[in-house]
Copies of this chain bind each other. A is one copy, B any other.
Amino acid sequence: MRADTDVLVTHEPGISLITFNRPARRNAFTARGYRQFARALEQAASAPEIAVAVVTGRGAAFSAGVDLKAFDNPAEHAALSAGFDQVLNALVTFPKPLIAAVNGAAVGFGMTMLLHFDLVLANENARFRAPFTELGLVPEAGSSDLLPRALGAQQATWLCLSGDWMEAPDAAKAGLVWRCVAGRVLDDALEVARQVRMKPTIAVQATKQLLTFGRRERIAEALRREHDTMVALVANATPDFERDAGSE
């Protein structure tokens, strides 16, 4: 465990705990952060002694999504894009139960990544925001497919169009969050992880595979549509795209 990394990985028996570690930037992702998160997931996926992974954030926020400052540097764009793809692939193919302990604000990809988790716990102060439209962008990370399924069409539409915050209790009612907890959410998430890791590993992974059947292909298609739309929008709507890039 190195304190100067963007993503910390620690362990307890059977469980990999992945912690976003840029609290000063509300755990926003640079290309380096994406790569480290992806690698942490890949290692948890392949390590035979790991049965479950738990993901949380250090500090007040869970994650602010991509670090919009990184977009100021055009040379960084390719690395950001590659890092994002690597994370997404690691999330979509993760074969073991993946549990989120949302300790604070989850914005942009900080929110949409949660749609790839099997169980999302959040503390009462956590909140969620999808500021795509106001940036002149559209839903990403497969969320155009996953969000309406998780929240219903109307809630998903409002979250995406408005950019409004959704508070944790509402997110729990809507189905984005599985459990909204009063205390320290990481404690609850680890307790859940310990319960899951006591079950026969092969049956657990086979169950995840059955329950999510078809999702991988559906997400791949959604990602293609989102990408094509984004390319078209950036071509036509550069002013909107840049407008609020610094505000988050």
Chain A residues with CB under 8 Å of chain B are 97, 118-120, 132-139, 144-145, 147-150, 152-158, 160-163, 175, 178, 195-196, 199-200, 202-204, 206-213, 222, 225-226, 229, 232-233, 236-237, 240, 243
Contact = CB atoms under 8 A, between A and B. Distances in A.
B178 A206 contact: no
Nearest to A226: B210
A8 to B, nearest CB: 25
Contacts of A158: 119, 178
A118 B226 CA distance: 19
A200 B136 contact: yes
Contacts of A204: 133, 161
A163 B236 CA distance: 49
Contacts of A156: 211
Nearest to A149: B153
B154 A199 contact: no
A160 B237 CA distance: 45
The A contact surface, by secondary structure, is helix
Copies of this chain, tallied across the complex: 3
A136 B240 contact: no
A148 B163 CA distance: 28
A211 B154 contact: no
B233 A202 contact: yes
A211 B153 contact: yes
Given A203-B233, A236-B202, A240-B200, A211 B157 contact: yes
A149 B204 CA distance: 19
B97 A157 contact: yes
A203 B132 contact: yes
Given A144-B210, A178-B154, A229-B209, A97 B203 contact: no
Q: Which of A118, A153, A210 has the most CB of B within 10 A?
A: A210
Contacts of A211: 139, 144, 147-148, 153, 156-157, 160
Given A120-B154, A204-B161, A236-B202, A213 B132 contact: no
28 contacts: A118-B157, A132-B207, A133-B203, A138-B210, A144-B213, A148-B211, A153-B211, A153-B212, A154-B178, A155-B178, A157-B208, A157-B211, A158-B178, A160-B211, A161-B204, A161-B208, A162-B195, A162-B196, A163-B199, A200-B237, A202-B233, A202-B237, A202-B240, A203-B237, A203-B240, A209-B229, A210-B226, A213-B225
